[in-house]
Homo-oligomer: A and B are copies of this chain.
Amino acid sequence: MGRVSDARERLLEAMLELIWTGSYGRTSVDHICERAGVKKGSFYYYFESKSALALAALDHGWAEYRVELDGFFSDEVAPLERILNCFRDSRREQEARREEHGRVLGCPIHSLGAEVATTDAPLRERLEEILAEFLGYYESAILDGQARGEIIAGDPGFLARMVFAFSEGLLLHARMKNDLAPLDDFEPGALFLLSGRTRPATCDPPAAALSL
């Protein structure tokens, strides 16, 4: 509330929100200032450009999300559950955002990446580092799951990349369709991929029997 140092944080939050609900390209410095309740002069006191703010906002958002990821991927949780819980949280977040904005927003990291990858090198490079860190969580869960015999054998990096690409494709389709339905495919898909079943669980006889 009104502390001078709040302005920087409000700008970071406004930038993240505007990228997620709209796009980087449609977001002007004027929009950001209006959303943050910060004067344009103050904007340029803290950041030299929209791109510099986006980079700082990305760091800010990722640092906050990493705290959550550390929780989902805690050693105390069964390895497969870590991955499922992480995506369940994404789904809850998507539902909450749809409630608030009337739209399915997808993954902000990937939407920003799709938009700026070819045009803003510092942002792209930071996004690439974030992707690698995110993937690291999946990979360590898969390694632990393999050690416990809960996840199939195979290159854990490859399995992590598969599950991660699958999850991001689903989030992108949810954003493009403005529909949460694609997210329902994650859990049976991840279980099918990682648990060594020879067909997806959605079609297994026990599941079919349950629906009778």
Contact = CB atoms under 8 A, between A and B. Distances in A.
Interface of A: 21-26, 101, 103, 105-106, 110-111, 113-119, 124, 127-128, 131, 152-155, 158-159, 161-162, 164-170, 172-173, 175-178, 182, 185, 188-189, 192-193, 196, 198-200, 202-203
A127 B176 contact: yes
Given A25-B115, A153-B203, A161-B182, 5 more contacts: A25-B26, A103-B118, A117-B176, A162-B166, A165-B182
18 contacts: A23-B119, A106-B117, A117-B175, A117-B178, A124-B178, A127-B176, A128-B178, A152-B199, A153-B199, A155-B203, A159-B200, A162-B166, A162-B185, A162-B200, A165-B166, A165-B172, A165-B173, A165-B185
A114 B114 contact: yes
Contacts of A128: 176-178
Nearest to A121: B178
Number of copies: 2
Nearest to A128: B177
Contacts of A182: 161, 165
A114 B26 CA distance: 13
A172 B175 contact: no
Residue from A21, A25, A152, A196 having most chain B Cβ neighbours under 10 A:
A25
A168 B173 contact: yes
Given A115-B115, A152-B199, A131 B177 contact: yes
A59 to B, nearest CB: 16
Contacts of A119: 22-23, 26
A116 B24 CA distance: 10
A162 B175 contact: no
Contacts of A176: 110, 113-114, 117, 124, 127-128, 131
Contacts of A173: 131, 161, 165, 168
Contact of A202 (B105, B155, B165): B155
